[in-house]
Chains A and B, each alone.
Chain A
């Protein structure tokens, strides 16, 4: 069993739709990260959070520590949001666990 599970694996949405990507983890964590991987392969860090909720533009990330669950929401989705979104958690010491990613395609 992976320490980090994401769902869905693949997601196709129409432009303008509200999108939710889910992440569940099974280890004790210091922080949870949401990453965006562009089609070319480069990765950008979107959020790091250890409690509550963070918002950046059209992106919102929430975390529920008790339930070991986080969600990434994208409001008013746009084709440029098409990417792979990766959930990662920092555990004890230098442990860092990555989910397998959610591939998002937003159709105009």
Chain B
């Protein structure tokens, strides 16, 4: 079955470290998205990519970076510049419009 795979499910980071969250899809979707979810808040868009080798900043891109070298992969790096990285991160994809499929998420915590 097609879907989105996010890994790992839980991730711990030390202060000052960069960490990369994986997102892979086998839906042949062109568009992919990264969202951040915090308690009591709606999902907020970090980055999105509508096509390979192209991506755009979302509402809260500071402290994050992405790449889209392959259609099926859209990894998110949380850099040390992100001062409050503890959150739940969701990856999503679509044929080109709003996100249609979501992954199961990665919960990032700071040690």
Contact = CB atoms under 8 A, between A and B. Distances in A.
A91 to B, nearest CB: 9
Interface residues of A, number: 22
A90 to B, nearest CB: 4
Interface in A40-55: 40-45
Q: Which of A31, A94, A98, A100 has most B Cβ within 10 Å?
A: A94
A2 B99 CA distance: 20
A85 to B, nearest CB: 12
Interface in B34-58: 35, 40-45, 48, 50, 56
B42 A96 contact: no
Contact of A41 (B44, B50, B97, B105): B105
A94 B97 CA distance: 7
B40 A100 contact: yes
B98 A90 contact: yes
Contact of A42 (B40, B41, B104): B104
Contact of A33 (B42, B90, B98): B98
A4 interface: yes
Nearest to B88: A41
Contacts of B68: none
A22 B18 CA distance: 40
Given A4-B42, A99-B42, A100-B42, A31 B98 contact: yes
B29 to A, nearest CB: 13
B42 A2 contact: yes
A73 to B, nearest CB: 22
A96 B99 contact: yes
Interface of A: 2, 4, 30-31, 33, 35, 40-45, 86, 88, 90, 94, 96-101
Interface of B: 35, 40-45, 48, 50, 56, 88, 90, 92, 97-105, 107
Given A45-B101, A86-B42, A98-B42, 6 more contacts: A31-B98, A41-B104, A45-B100, A97-B42, A98-B35, A100-B42
